[in-house]
Structure 1
Amino acid sequence: MEKIERNIIEPITDVHLDEAKTGVLNWLQHLQKKTEDIFVRKGIVLAIIGFLLGRALILSQLAPFGLPFFAAVYMIRRDRAPISLIGLVAGAFSVHYSNGISLFASVFLLLLIYKIKEPGLDTQFKTMSLYVFTSLVVVGVAEQYIRNRTFQIYDGMMIGIEAGLAMILTLIFIQCIPLLSIRKKTQGLKTEEIISVIILLASVMTGTIGWAIYDLSVEHILSRYLVLVFGLAGGAAIGSTVGVVTGLIFSLASIASLYQMSLLAFSGLLGGLLKEGKKAGVSIGLLIATLLIGLYGEGSNNILLTMYESLASVALFLLTPATIIGNIAKHIPGTMEHSYEQQQYMKRIRDVTAQRVAQFSNVFEALSASFSQIDERVDVEEEDKELDYFLSNVTEKTCQICFKKEQCWSKNFDTTYEGMQEIMRQLYENDGQLPQQTAKEWGKYCSRSPQVISAISQELMYYQANQRLKKQVKESRKLVADQLLGVSAVMDDFAKEIQRERQNHHIQEEQIREAIQDFGLSIGHVEIYSLEQGNVDIEMSVPYCNGRGECEKLIAPMLSDILGETIVVHSEECAAYPNGQCHTVFRSAKKFTVETGVAHAAKGGGLVSGDSYTTVEIGCGKYAIAISDGMGNGERAHFESTETLKLLQKFLLSGIEEKIAIKSVNSVLSLRTTDEIFSTLDLAMIDLQDAKAKFLKICSIPSFIKRGDKLIKIESGNLPMGIIQEFDVDVVSEELKAGDLLIMMSDGIFEAPGHVENFDFWMKRKLKELKTDDPQEVADIILEEVIRAKGTIDDDMTIVTARIKHNTPKWAAIPVNSFRKRA
């Protein structure tokens, strides 16, 4: 009973705990958003920064921070300028009333100059920095003259230094204001922007000089806290940079803080190097640096106080939420957080692109469905209407002037209508000849029988022409529908390919690296893009091997044993210098390969042949072999056949299915010209994974498959391409085997031997007599035999042969026992 109650109570408790955690997280997110709205959007953070910058001094005399900050806020967020001015003036008055008056006067003069001569958009930032320089010089000279009634060279130099620093700080602060007042999407910061932010933060902390809590200096605590945060977020480089810049700003503000630059820089370096230890590692780095630099800088007297300050900054650092540090790291290039953010951004871009492509795919699919919709009921109604129009035209020419019109159409409508319809049908079926029996029976019924039969025969020609036109329109609609559907399928596949995200195979990558390195080979990075059986894709960098072929001879065989399938070198980019890295791509080997041979001759031994051929491996592991014969000979025939193959190759490489590709090519050829220039096409598509072949023959010569002593003939009949816009493509499928020899030829080969009565038998005999299975030798032998048998070359001749072979790797797999993977 207790067990049952416990089993019931525990899930309920877990549910309540989950609800409580969710509620707390939601409350924290709401609090964070509210705080951000108050401090960032309302401009409170600008007022706080302004207060501290108004207090910041250099050498206890110069105040170059306040006016540049106001100028930057006025240029970027003019609506927040008043609240920032309040903070600046309040901070300046907290130091001395004269500082507040001088700052207010400088701001007033700056705004006056700005209103008199408002800068252009192209140079507004540079011009504003010059206005700041001018305002500080004028106010400084006036203040010096009013206070001392004299003006010395030293005073002028100090005023010039203060104004010059302010001019530079104006350009620096302008880059920082957008980060403080505008809620922007995460983006990487440039090096200059990072340095500008650090200078601004260090300048703000300068305003805390002189503040102390239990004898602990606030500026020291905050500066070391800043180094800790950036050391953990950005690493050693950013941490040391923050330490140097912050220490430099502090040393300018107070000579007594000069040694702080060494302490902060060393702390940032050690903390960044120990960032793998998270907050604890960075904190230990600060404490070590404090101990070493403290002993070196001030001796053992103040080391305890310095350690207390570091411990206070560590405590503040440990209380800082990890999300804040993570948000800072997202803006620093080179960090993992920034890389992840960039990957997420690229993923969003990829998803949006894939979605748009998928939408276009749906549009083409909808268009295809719209073209392919044929309402049979509407077709029947249209046929009835056309028949009515047909008979109306006949009766208008014959029955309108007949005295028996009322009797035929009013009293015997059905008999008259069916009789004319029967005459029309028999004329259509008998090529315009009406059987005597039908004519005799109609003559007994109709008094104007010859005129009616003649009118029906005449109208039938127009009716048939109209039906042919409608059929062509329907066929064109179907072709367009097929083409649109093919484009839709290609775009849909493309969208899916875009959305294919590189899978994380960190464990497998490390195991492959260890397995190969344990064998004694040194390799660089390993990136696995796919481990799918038959579709393995691995990229690897290896040291320069001086042409010894380690990738092909050692690494690929080892990967073959590791992955349980044959892996080959797909591409290799060798290093340009001895100590460089070679980049190699390893992929799954195809189960079959195709070795081809070609022999051809132009009519009369000429240079330009009307035949064209192509052998190309297209995507998805398919190999295409095609021969096209342009009608006639010479350049025009060569142009037609070449264009046919170029168009076909582009369609096939785009991923469109073979039948649709051929129909599309035919449509282009038939619409391109009205000249009677046509071409044939003989296409073989071979799947390199299972050796299945599809043969598509458009008015082409039969092909042969030689399998040992057995010959298989492949043939089908279609009109040449370009004659009509729509035609059916017969597809012949055949399962090829390793060792098969495929022979494809143009009509110049097949019809050349004039004395041979049965060329089919003659060709089979020649193929059986072959003593070689080398594709190129077979092509040369067949062409030579045909030319010898004919004696002359009366037509363009082309023969393409292909041998199917098992893909046997050059190197056997090397056993590796440390890692074994089965997909």
Structure 2
Amino acid sequence: MEKVERPMMEPLGDVQLKEAKEGAINWIQQLQTKTDDIFIKKGISLAIIGFLLGRALILSQLSPFGLPFFAAVFLMRRDRAPLALFGLIAGGLTIHYSNSLVIFTSAFLLLLFHKIKKPAVEGQFKTMSMYVFASLFLVNLAEQYLVFRTIQLYDLMMIGVEAGLAMILTLIFIQSIPLLSIRTKSQSLKTEEIVSIIILLASVMTGTIGWMIYDLSLDHIFSRYLVLLFGLAGGAAIGSTVGVVTGLIFSLASIASLYQMSLLAFSGLLGGLLKEGRKIGVAAGLLIATLLIGLYGEGTNNIMVTLYESLIAVVLFILTPSSIINKIAKHIPGTVENSDEQQQYARKVRDVTAQRVEQFSHVFEALSNSFSQIDERGRLEEDEKEFDYFLSNVTEKTCQICFKKEQCWAKNFNTTYDGMQEIMLQLSENNGQLPQKTSKEWGKYCSRGPQVIGAISQELTYFEANQKLKRQVKESRKLVADQLRGVSAVMDDFAKEIQRERKNHHLHEESIMEAIQDFGLHIGYVEIYSLEQGSVDIEMSVPYCQGRGECEKLIAPMLSDILGETIVVHSEECATYPNGQCEVIFRSAKKFTVETGVAHAAKGGGLVSGDSYTTMEIGCGKFAIAISDGMGNGERAHFESTETLKLLQKFLQSGIEEKIAIKSVNSVLSLRTTDEIFSTLDLAMIDLQDAKAKFLKICSIPSFIKRGDKIIKIESSNLPMGIIQDFDVDVVSEELKAGDILIMMSDGVFDGPSHVENIEFWLKRKIKEMETDDPQEISDLILEEVIRTKGIIDDDMTVVTSKIKHNTPKWASIPVSPKRKKAQ
């Protein structure tokens, strides 16, 4: 017989496995959606809770849970109130028909009170609780009188206690019902809300008292299961709270369950302390508490029953999906899950904000592109049209009344057109004067030559004015485009900065705090925002040190040793009273520092100088040095130079690039006034991390860098600011080194000594011969030498000297424990 080969089943591929997995996930999500729809949206869960609360008793005779639950559901979810009432009546029937009758009657009376006087919105919770008290008190009082025909003081007291408990439970259930019946967004619950939910759940479980399976009490199993859930989700505090509240309510329901409060509280405490072991650790806490409290409370007789109940609770707990526990933990403040949820929400807000800022950036970029787009072909066509309009205005006054019009424009169009164009160009180039040769040649060709030349000269004035206005508009468009592009770049950088996620530095914060406290210093808190090399940012709260400088002398050196780089005090806000806390910010020290010295003198020894200067540290670790010289002398020149530097400082501090900032300042100065008041600008931008410098010189005289015996000249050629609206800014880059001395000056110093033929060589020699390296002394010596050589001060003079130095910390690092250092 031939062997028949059976086809081999091909293994499922990755695609099939992925589809199967996605199908299972979709099925689970659909099942969860249907479950939520049935139990939560349709209110079946409220009916089940009502059934158990209708069975719940205190001291085997008081039933204060039913009416408060109905009142809370009626107030919070009126459409589901009939279901809740049905569940309460059904639960009451399992105890005695009178319980159901009391619940129904008191609910009817409650609705009657509500109908007679509907409570105001502001105090509706308090009013509803008072209605519950009155309804339950009157119904129980009537039942007592109808059944026994007498009312004793004890009976009156018990009725009052039950009505009082119902009034308090109403306020508690009102806080719990929305959390159980409505799928709210994930948010942190208040402590009062958590306790309210625990009371409601414990009250519900009270309805299971008396339910037994093989001598095992379901109320004991469910209560311990509840403690396990909250012990793992919320830790020792929440676990012990759940145990105490649940045990207290159980003990009120049955005196025999008094020892359960100790067992549940101890279980919640141990389980919360062992929550790092997850489910196994929390379960071990319950079993340990069961053995200890069980032996103490009931001896060895019922220890096995109690142990079996705890084991069943542990089995249910282990079978509980972790997602349910995580959902519970998300609502409890202080848990890791809640912190992650809050961070996720903050991340969403951050991303939305960054997206909006980025959209604005794109809008400004689009606006910039629309302003900067210039069609060259369209420009040529526009120029031709403008020249045609120009000739039409000329011919209207001359050629239209000439008898040779047909011969000039019909037979010799090109010659006439080119001739008039040549006349216009020569008049424009020679300031309205036409060469005699061109005039004679045109006179031979045109019978009305002088009239045509005069008309062209007259129209040329209007034409040139129109062209100048259009050029200014185009230049303004280009400047606006550059400014919009700069704003777009700033907003784009801001969006990226927003999206930089703050890393979680809990371990580093704890390690730094322990290291400092081990040293003997007490600090309030440590908040780390960045640990990037060169960009460390740490905020700390330290006790008031009475001006001893502990932050600068002790904490910053310790941080320097821990983080492996120099850390300094960036800002310090001292406490206003001796027992207060100081807020201190520590940041990375820059690799270089700039020390400056300034010497200046006004013309004729006056008090007001037309020169202005500024030195400022800008964000991103840059240091700016600027000198501005206003045109002329006196207050007007001083005002112009000062305004130039103020505008420049605002633009630079906003994050706009240096070239665009200078162009923007120039635009403001040129458009602000019609007076011929101009300013020069000498700007140096030094990066404090690598000492790279950019020099932007606007009609300013050269600067000098002294590097040992070598003198380096820095110069550039640009027109003064405010003359024209559009100009190019030349940027000169130079990499400075530690020990370099940068000398910047105004033209009054550079042009000072009139008898010196080569002022540049003279200044280089004077700078080279100086033995001091102190910036202030160098500035004073240069200014003094110029004034002494010239004899008078015939112009405003300013010298700004800057020395580049390595940033050497004032205090050496303080070594800490190697373990602390390793933890970083």
TM-score of the aligned structures, taking structure 2 as reference length: 0.90
Question: Kindly tell me: are residues 484 and 14 of structure 1, through their superposed partners in 2, closer, same or farther at Cα, counting changes over 3 Å?
Answer: closer
Cα distance in 2 between the residues matched to 1:186 and 1:721: 59
C-alpha spacing 1:616/1:219, structure 2 compared with 1 (3 Å): same
> In the aligned structure 2, how far is the partner of 1:554 from the partner of 1:163?
64
Alignment of 1:592 onto 2:596: no
With over 3 angstroms needed to count, the CA separation of the structure-2 counterparts of 1:820 and 1:253, relative to structure 1, is: closer
Q: 1:575 to 1:22 in 2, by over 3 A?
A: farther
Rounded to whole Å, the distance in 2 between the matches of 1:401 and 1:466 is 27
Q: Any conservation in 1 of the 2:556–2:569 contact (CA below 8 Å)?
A: no
User: Aligned partners of 1:510, 1:101: CA distance in 2, in Å?
Assistant: 61
Return the offset for 1:761: 4.0
In structure 2, do the counterparts of structure 1 residues 125 and 820 end up closer, same or farther at CA, with 3 Å as the change threshold?
closer
Q: Structure 2: any 5+ residue segments left out of the alignment? A: 1-7
Q: Secondary structure at the match of 2:378?
A: helix
1:190-248, Cα deviation, whole Å (9 max, x unpaired): 10110111011011111111111111111111111111111111111001111111111
Q: 1:631 to 1:324 in 2, by over 3 A?
A: same
Q: Where do 1:440-459 residues align within 5 Å?
A: 440-459=440-459
Please report how far the alpha carbon of residue 397 of structure 1 lies from its aligned counterpart in structure 2 after TM superposition. Answer: 0.8
Cα distance, 1:639–1:296 mapped onto 2, change above 3 Å: farther
Range 307-316 or range 196-205, more displaced: 307-316
User: Which of 532, 554, 560 is matched with 1:556 structurally?
Assistant: 560
Instruction: State the match for 1:327 in structure 2.
Output: 327
Q: Quickly say closer, same or farther: Cα 1:509–1:234, change in 2 above 3 A.
A: closer
Task: Compute the displacement of 1:502 (Å).
Answer: 3.3
Task: Give the 3-state SS of the residue equivalent to 1:95 in structure 2.
Answer: coil
Q: Which residue of 1 aligns with 2:726?
A: 726
**Do residues 364 (structure 1) and 364 (structure 2) align?**
yes
Q: Which moved further from structure 2: 303-312 or 746-755?
A: 746-755
Amino acid aligned to 1:326: N
Map of 1:96 onto structure 2: 96
> Matches of 2:820 and 2:276 in 1, distance apart?
29
SS class of match (2:646): helix
Q: CA deviation at 1:730?
A: 2.4
- Structure 1, 223-232 or 663-672: larger mean CA deviation: 663-672
Tell me: CA distance 1:640–1:572, structure 2 relative to 1, closer, same or farther (3 Å): closer
Counterpart secondary structure, 1:489: helix
- Quote the residue 2:80 is aligned against: 80
1:659 offset after TM fit, Å? Answer: 0.6
2:94 aligned counterpart, secondary structure? helix
- Shift of residue 152 of structure 1? 3.5
Equivalent residue number for residue 178 of structure 1: 178
- Report the counterpart of residue 233 of structure 1 in structure 2: 233
Structure 2 SS opposite 1:259: helix
Contact 1:523 1:540 in 2 (8 A): no
Query: CA offsets, 1:428-484, max 9 Å, x none?
Result: 122211111111111011011001001101111111111111111111000010111
| Paired residues of 2:612 and 2:627 also in contact (CA < 8 A) | yes
Distance 1:591 1:145 in 2: 91
Q: CA deviation at 1:674?
A: 4.4
Query: Where in structure 2 are the equivalents of 1:66-465 lying within 5 Å?
Result: 66-465=66-465
SS of equivalent residue, structure 1 residue 681: strand
1:532-567: CA deviation from partner (whole Å, max 9, x where unpaired): 55555677899999756344545424643xxxxx53
Conserved in 1, the CA contact under 8 Å of 2:53 and 2:65? yes
Which residue matches 1:568? 567
User: 1:529–1:10: structure 2 CA closer, same or farther, 3 Å change rule?
Assistant: farther
Residue 629 of structure 1 corresponds to: 629
**Contact kept? 1:490, 1:656, Cα under 8 Å:** yes
Q: 2:783 aligned with 1:783, yes or no?
A: yes
| Offset at residue 586 of structure 1 (A) | 6.2
Equivalent residue number for residue 498 of structure 1: 498
In 2, Cα distance between equivalents of 1:75 and 1:819: 57
Q: Partner letter of residue 569 of structure 1?
A: V
Secondary structure of the residue aligned to 2:744 is strand
Aligned residues: 809
2: distance between equivalents of 1:194 and 1:506?
A: 27
Separation in 2 of the partners of 1:105 and 1:449?
A: 119
Cα distance per residue 1:5-43 (max 9 Å; x no partner): xxx999857776665555444433332232222211111
User: Which residue of structure 1 aligns with residue 39 of structure 2?
Assistant: 39
Query: 3-state DSSP class of the match of 1:438?
Result: helix
8 Å CA contact 2:556–2:586 kept in 1: the answer is no
Moved more, 23-32 or 72-81: 23-32
* Whole-angstrom distance in 1 between the partners of 2:511 and 2:188: 33
Q: Residues 269 and 511 of structure 1: is their aligned pair in 2 closer, same or farther, counting only changes over 3 Å?
A: closer
Matches within 5 A, 1:510-659: 534-535=534-535, 549-553=553-557, 555-557=559-561, 559-560=563-564, 566-569=565-568, 571=570, 589-603=589-603, 605=605, 607-659=607-659
Kindly provide the CA deviation profile for residues 350-383 of structure 1, in whole angstroms up to 9, marking residues without a partner as x: 1111111111111111111010000111111111
Distance 1:451 1:287 in 2: 119
> Kindly tell me: are residues 506 and 763 of structure 1, through their superposed partners in 2, closer, same or farther at Cα, counting changes over 3 Å?
same
Does the 8 Å CA contact 2:602/2:609 hold for their aligned counterparts? yes
Mark the CA change 1:511 to 1:176 in structure 2 (over 3 Å): closer, same or farther. Answer: closer
Once the 2 structures are TM-superposed, how far is the Cα of residue 521 of structure 1 from its aligned partner?
10
8 Å CA contact retained: 2:557, 2:814: no
Q: Which residue of 1 aligns with 2:739?
A: 739
Residue identity opposite 2:353 in structure 1? T
**Partner amino acid, structure 2, of 1:103:** I
Structure 1 segments unaligned to the other structure (5+ residues): 1-7, 561-565
More divergent stretch after superposition (283-292 vs 460-469): 283-292
Which amino acid letter does the alignment assign opposite residue 567 of structure 2? Answer: V
Aligned partners of 2:273 and 2:399: how far apart in 1? 108
Deviation for aligned residue 1:568: 3.2
Letter of the structure 1 residue corresponding to residue 30 of structure 2:
H
Tell me how far 1:675 sits from its aligned partner.
4.9
Percent identity of paired positions between Structure 1 and Structure 2: 77
Q: 1:303 to 1:579 in 2, by over 3 A?
A: farther
Decide whether aligned partners of structure 1 residues 496 and 11 sit closer, same or farther in structure 2, where only a CA change above 3 A counts.
Answer: farther
Asked whether the equivalents of residues 557 and 813 of structure 2 are also in contact (C-alpha less than 8 Å), the reply is no
CA distance in 1, matches of 2:665, 2:326: 57
Deviation per residue, 1:767-794 (Å, 9 max, x gap): 2221111111111222223333455545
Q: Could you tell me whether the CA contact under 8 Å between 1:678 and 1:721 is conserved in 2?
A: yes
Q: Is contact 1:610–1:635 with CA below 8 Å preserved after alignment?
A: yes
Contact 2:556 2:568 in 1 (8 A): yes
Distance 2:406 2:586 in 1: 89
- TM-superposed CA distance for 1:151, in Å, is 3.3
Between 645-654 and 390-399, report the one with greater CA deviation: 645-654
**599-608 or 146-155, which deviates more:** 599-608
CA distance in 2, matches of 1:148, 1:377: 109
How many Å apart are 1:608 and its aligned residue? Answer: 4.5
Secondary structure of the residue aligned to 2:62 is coil
Partners of 2:804 and 2:378 lie apart in 1 by 52
Could you tell me whether the CA contact under 8 Å between 2:175 and 2:193 is conserved in 1?
A: yes
Q: Distance in 2 between matches of 1:276 and 1:109?
A: 51
Looking at structure 2, the residues matched to 637 and 154 of structure 1 have their Cα atoms a distance apart, in angstroms, of: 99
For 1:52 and 1:111, locate their aligned partners in 2 and report how far apart those are by CA, in whole Å.
22
Return the TM-score normalized by structure 1: 0.90
Contact 1:696–1:732 (CA under 8 A) maintained in structure 2: yes
Asked whether 1:671 is paired with 2:701, we answer no
- Matched residue of 2:721: which SS? coil
8 Å CA contact retained: 1:227, 1:239: yes
Return the alpha-carbon distance in structure 1 between the equivalents of residues 557 and 204 of structure 2.
63
Who is 2:5 aligned against?
A: none
- Alignment RMSD, CA only? 3.4
* Inter-partner Cα distance in structure 2 for 1:153 and 1:558: 74
The CA distance in 2 between the partners of 1:359 and 1:783, in whole Å, is 53
Distance 1:501 1:88, change over 3 A: same
Contact 1:544 1:574 in 2 (8 A): no
Report what 2:4 is aligned to: none
